[in-house]
Each structure stands twice: as C-alpha cells, then as structure tokens.
Structure 1
Amino acid sequence: MSLSPKERLLDTLAKKKVDRPPVVCTGGMMNAAIVDVMNRTGHTLPEGHFRSDLMAELATDVNQDTGFENFGIPFCMTVEAEVLGSEIDFGTLACEPKIAREPFATNAQVQFRDIDKLLDSGRIRQVAEAALLLSRSNPDVPVIGSITGPVSTAASIVDPMNFLKELHKKREDSHRVLDYVSDFLISFARLLVDGGASAICIGDPTATGEILGPRMFQEYAVTYLNKVIDGIHATGVPVLVHICGEMKAVKSSIPQLHSDAISTDAFVNLKALKEEYPQLTTMGNLSTFLLELGEPDKVSRHTAGLVRDGIDIISPACGLSTASSILNIQAMTQTVKDGGRGW
C-alpha cells in the first residue's frame, strides 16, 4: 500500500484500512515550531504569527525537520481571542503568545459584533492565506488548521474565574456567549477550509472534567463542541478534537462528540479507551514532558508502545515545549514510520 501523508490521514479519519498510523502535530496548542527548528532555518516567532508567507515557511520547516506528516497552523491559541477583543502578549522565539488581558469582566458585558467583519481583523486572513500557500505548494501533505475550542475561547475574552462561576450561576448569559463564540469559530474554520485545510483540529483545554465536572461538560462542552464540529463537517472536511486532563469524570460523554478523532492527554490509557469505545478513532498521546526531557531511545520505546496498542493516529499528548529536542521528535516520527520497531 502506497499512500501519501494526506491520503493516510484522511483514510484513517474515514475509518479505512491504512498501512500504518499517521504521525502528526496539529499546530495551535500542539505547536511544533521548536527552538531547534527556528534557530536552524532563521524562520522565527513571533514574526511568524503575523505574516502568512513566514507562517507557511515555518510550517514547512517543521514538517521537513521533525518528520511530522502534516502542516499545522497557526502556532498559538490566541488568534480568536485577539479578534474578539483580548489583549495579547505575543511572546518570543522561546515563549508562545498568551492572553494578557480579557476585555470583559462578565458574560453579560460581552459585545456581539458582526462576524463577517471579525473575519477581516487580527490575524485571521494571514492564517487562511498560509493554509492556501501550503496546500498549493504541497498537495500531498495535509494542512491541519487548528482552532481554539468554544469554552476556551470564551474563557479568553471573559475574566476566566467569573466565566467559570457564571456557567453555574448565570446559564442564560453563558449560553449566549458560547453560541456567539461558536458561530465565530465555525466561520474562521470555514475560511481555513476555503484556503485548503484538509482537516480542522479543535483544542479546548478549559473544557476538562477537572475544571467543568461531568454536568457542566455535558451542558456546555459537548453542546458547543458539537455545534462547531457540525458546522465544519458541513464543508466536507474531518474534525479532530483534543480533550485535556485525565478525562475520568467525563469519559462517558466522549462518544457523544461528533468529531472524527479524539486526542487525549498523556494521563489517559488510550488502549483502554479504544477497547471500551471501539467506535472512537484515537489520537495521541506521547508525553510532551518525555519529548522535552527524555532521551531518544526512551521516546522511541514509548512511541512503539502506542503503535502496538493500535492507536489510530500518533501525536504528542498536548502542548509541546519550544525547548523540546529535535532528536526526540525525530525518534518519535521515525519509529512510527518504521512500523513501531524502535529507533
């Protein structure tokens, strides 16, 4: 079987038989633009957050240097929050952007702006243009457009402590904000698809069982993740979802998500999850602490274990440190390509 990286990923997401798992890193909260790569190429952040050409060049560098079988853009989780009014600290070469200040103290204060106008602000068009450049120059490599999930996006524009309290105490306001945010995320994702994104990955780190608990996870995370997923599916592309944390409290809700694959943190036993819910396409979940602090042979052994366990898509478990070793990442990707035989 001879498959291009794009065919292998899309066939896996469509539950078709493939020769081996894809090995990917999706961008967004799983940003593989590590210091080792940027120092070698001279294509660096934070400059790459703002220019579509540099974003595409850096995504290409990551693909070529690490062995990951995709392009993952953007390189942060602040694109949406910036457009919706948050003040952003754009970081440095070694430090990713973060939210410096949320514009609203409560959900009731959120201003609902015209979404079509929002799409022409911030870095939205630059990310979409980078997707277009990548898809045109490398048609056999999948472009994964990464977006921030609805709960995390909402918690990035409203004071997060107040936001979480109001999920319990002011449900009507909370639902109104999450519905608005979800509509915006669908529109952003559709621009990425128009630009050539082969798949969309949603990372929603605030939507965890530890933070929300099972009832709030069901009411908010499942409801609005599915709204966004369904809106993206209408374009004809698959959707991957990353759920952070141990997931024990919300495990029974996971099969209700409409996504084509579920990515999890390193805490989760993906083999057991797959056995309990065989309908799930599993993705993950090599420890990012191991990728940063471990040795290549240990990385290779752990990766080979994921391949033996039948995990459908191999990827880092969560956010990669920019200090991660290029040798460790190469050990991971090469082990998958060698069929899990080890480095």
Structure 2
Amino acid sequence: MNTKKRIISGILGGRVDQIPVWLPVVSITVPMMEQAKAPWPAAHHDPELMAKLAAMPWELAGLPAITVPFCLSLEAEALGCELDPGTINRTPSVKKPAFSIPDDFVLPENLLERGRIPVVLRALEILHDRLGEEVPINAKITGGFTIAGHIYGVSEFISWIKTNPAYAHQAVESASLVTKALITAFEDHGADIISISDPTASGDLLSGDQYREFVLPYHKRVASAARRPSVLHICGNSSGLLEHIKTSGFDAYSFEEKIDVLTAKKILGDNISLVGNVAPVGTMLQGSPEKVTADALLAMQGGVDVLSSGCTLPPLTPLENIRALARAPEHYRVPREPEEILREFSRGFAAGVNQ
C-alpha cells in the first residue's frame, strides 16, 4: 500500500497495512524555509514559493504532510479584514475586522480572485502535478465559526451567542458560505483532502449545547459540500463536543492531547476516524526523538486511525523530532490476529471503565 492510499484509507476508516502518519495542520518550520529559500511572509504570496515550502516536510523529513495555505487568515483577508503580515516564525493574523454586524456582510462575487486565494489555487495545481501521485495534497480551510470571529471581532461575535443568538447564527451561516466556496475551488485545483480548521469552535470557549446549536448545523453543511475525504480540526479540550462532532458528517476528527485518545474512541466509535494527538509543544517542540516515539506509540495504542501532532507544529520544532514522528508507525504493529485484536479491545475497554 503506497503512502497516499494508506493516508486516505486511514481517514476513511478503511484497511491499512500500517498506521498512517499525516498532519491536517501546518507542519512548516524555519529550517524548512531556509532549505527551500522560501521564508514567510514571502511564501504566503508566491505560488511557486508556497508549493516549494509545502513540500519540505516530505522532502526533508519524510513526513507526508503537504498542506496549503499556512495560516487561518486567508478568508478574512479576502473579505476585507486588515492583516498583520506576520514574520518568519509567525503566520499572518487579523488586525481589524471587516464588518460590524451580520447585516453588513456581502459575499464577493469575485471571491476566488481576492487576496491570496489565487496564490493558493495555483500552489495546489503545482503540488498536484509534482507530488500528487506520491502523497495526498491537503487544502486547509478555515471553518465558518472562526471566520465569523475574524470578520466581526472575536469578543463581539462570541458575545452574540448570549446577547443576540440570531446575529450569531447569521454570522456563522454567511461565513460558512466562504468555507463551502473554497472547498469546491480547492478540490477543482488539485486538493485530495479537505481539512476544516475551526479553532474558535473549541470546548475551551463553547459548551456542548452551544456547539450543537451554533456550530454543528454549519459543520454538517460544510462536510456535505466536500467531494474529497474531509477532516475537522478543533483545538483545545473539546471532550464535551464529541457526542455532536460524531454526527457532523466529516470523515475524520483531528484533536489535541488535551483529549484522551481512549475517551475519544469510546465516544466516537467508528462514526469518524481519529487523527492525533502528539503534543505539538511539550513533545514535538520541547521533547526528544525518543519522547516523540513514545508518545506516538501511546496514541496508536489508544486507537488513532491516523497519527498526527495535536495541532500546528511550532516553527522552531526540531527536524529530528519531525523525522521521529514520521518513522513512529514502523515501531507499531497493527493488530491482525484474533488474540491481538482482543488484547487491544480489552485495554481500551478497561481504560474506559476506569475513567
């Protein structure tokens, strides 16, 4: 089974000969930028540099994580937000919202021509042509809840959940139109996988009931728009959201180390594949290769379908730690014999009972 098929099969919950390793989030580091001669912020604005840099995790570390764009502000910029351009180790971020209230929102007819969207479209084409036979090309798109926070201001938008629920719904619904439009465009330009990053829709900010009301209906619409395998990534401790996430329609769920793998497996079952959850800071940035391997083994033993970091890799993550993550599945044998499967099941069952 080749790398591309293994990853897609893992996302879709299919048969694999080895746990695939793959990141739905950004895995670019400063040494990669230096090797590619494609530093941030320049690589955010040039399709050739973007494609060259996106290939570096695979070419330098054997990590089949080819993801564009590299930030969460692509959509906000296209909608008129003022950005901080970022630096070599910090991605662009929103400085000033574009709108005051949802009634002000207008979906641009020329959305795909605005901001850096044309850069990403061209970079996807380049990556598809150069690497599409070897590894899947992943397009990362910001979820509607997070876009709404960007274009109205996070504090103001979150306050509407209590003070003006109609505004909150209107804001997420209109922002999700942007997410859906980019899904279609990115798939048409070569994306093999669609990853929706919606970090503001986190259990650190929302209760399960709030997620069910203000996020889940729009996640379902977004998931149904994808023609390729789809992955949802939400940061933070979102254990309280899992019962709802399993009905979202996404093929896989990417989560941080704040959520225990066995807990996620117990709640989500076979409804959705698990992608995670090696700690990006405590292990990938600050740990040793041995620590990376040990934590990766725990995640695989816990039941992840795809091994990944729990969130975006810090730009100063050591290359040797990324290589260790890429090689970690070689140290784990997928249970195949009946007694092995029973042993894996028993361990997960016992852990669930003891929580």
With the length of structure 1 as denominator, give the TM-score of the two structures.
0.92
- 1: distance between equivalents of 2:242 and 2:231? 17
Do the aligned partners of 1:305 and 1:340 also contact (CA within 8 Å) in 2?
Answer: no
Distance 1:338 1:226, change over 3 A: same
- 1: distance between equivalents of 2:329 and 2:83? 37
- 2: distance between equivalents of 1:218 and 1:52? 38
SS in 1 for 2:119: helix
* Residues 1-343 of structure 1 mapped to structure 2, 5 A cutoff: 3-26=1-24, 30-108=25-103, 110-114=104-108, 116-138=109-131, 139-232=133-226, 236-279=227-270, 280-289=272-281, 290-339=283-332
- 1: distance between equivalents of 2:102 and 2:61? 41
**Greater displacement, 222-231 / 12-21:** 12-21
How far does the alpha carbon of each residue in 1:219-268 deviate from its partner, in whole angstroms, 9 at most, with x for none? Answer: 11111111111112xxx211100122212332321211110001111111
Amino acid at match of 1:302: D
- 1: distance between equivalents of 2:29 and 2:256? 20
Q: CA deviation at 1:148?
A: 0.7
- Structure 2 unmatched runs, 5+: 335-355
Q: CA deviation at 1:275?
A: 2.8
SS in 2 for 1:77: coil
**Greater displacement, 330-339 / 237-246:** 330-339
Amino acid at match of 1:135: H
Q: CA deviation at 1:340?
A: 6.7
- Structure 1 unmatched runs, 5+: none
Amino acid at match of 2:275: M
Q: CA deviation at 1:339?
A: 3.4
- 2: distance between equivalents of 1:317 and 1:178? 25
SS in 2 for 1:250: helix
SS in 1 for 2:176: helix
- 2: distance between equivalents of 1:125 and 1:98? 19
The total of aligned residue pairs comes to 331
With the length of structure 2 as denominator, give the TM-score of the two structures.
0.89
Sequence identity (%): 26
RMSD of the TM alignment (CA)? 1.6
- 2: distance between equivalents of 1:272 and 1:52? 41
